[in-house]
Amino acid sequence: MLTKLINKTEEGILCIMLVGMTLLVFVEVILRFGFNTGLLWAEEVTLYISAWFVLFGASYGIKVGAHIAVEAFVKLLPDNIRRLVASVAIILSVIYCGLFLYGSWIYLTKMKMIGIEMEDLPIPKWIAMSILFIGFVFLGIRLLQLLWDVITGKQLGFHVIDEAEETLHLFEEIEQIELAEDAAETRAGQ
């Protein structure tokens, strides 16, 4: 139940950010051409949303396996060794996270001390940039979860979306339409 709620929230936030960015740029275009005005803060906000989108989404990407990787070599290994290699890769990724957490913590505390605000909005810069730290905390959590799944044998590695499989849903969708049409035609023929 809780995981379902977290999933929904995560997906909801990401979708809203994507739609928000799109609409902001769209509205700005309309304002410029239709009314010859613009929103002064729109560009900065759009860019910050994009940063939040990417850094918040990185952990979601680990969860759903959206990040692409080179699978050709690990696929050749037997399952046990493959899981071992994957564990090493995940531990290295956690180190990557740790380095960023450390760096962004230092940076953010400095920014808080100096107390600069964003260019067009009266928001302290360290709050606007806090996603740098938050995002990597989430990424770290997802990676540790993944590590546990690999160790307990629930997974073989970063389960990567197979893009070929992904696009084949189009094929199934079209095939269903065709079948329905054929059925309608035969009925009409009778």
Site for other proteins in 15-54 (CB under 8 A): 15, 18-19, 21-23, 25-26, 28-29, 33, 43, 46-48, 50-51, 53-54
Backbone φ and ψ of 155, nearest 5°:
-140, 155
Span 71-100, contacts to other proteins by CB under 8 A = 71-74, 85-86, 88-89, 92-93, 95-96, 99-100
Binding characters for other proteins, 134-153, by CB under 8 A (x = yes): --------------------
**104 belongs to the binding site for other proteins (CB under 8 A):** yes
What is the distance between the alpha carbons of residues 50 and 56, in angstroms, rounded to a whole number?
Answer: 10
- Give me the least distance between CB of 143 and other proteins, in Å please: 9
- State the Cα angle at 143 between 132 and 1, rounded to 5°: 95
What is the distance between the alpha carbons of residues 168 and 79, in angstroms, rounded to a whole number?
Answer: 27
What is the distance between the alpha carbons of residues 153 and 14, in angstroms, rounded to a whole number?
Answer: 30
Candidates 126, 129, 142, 150; binder of other proteins (CB under 8 A) is: 129
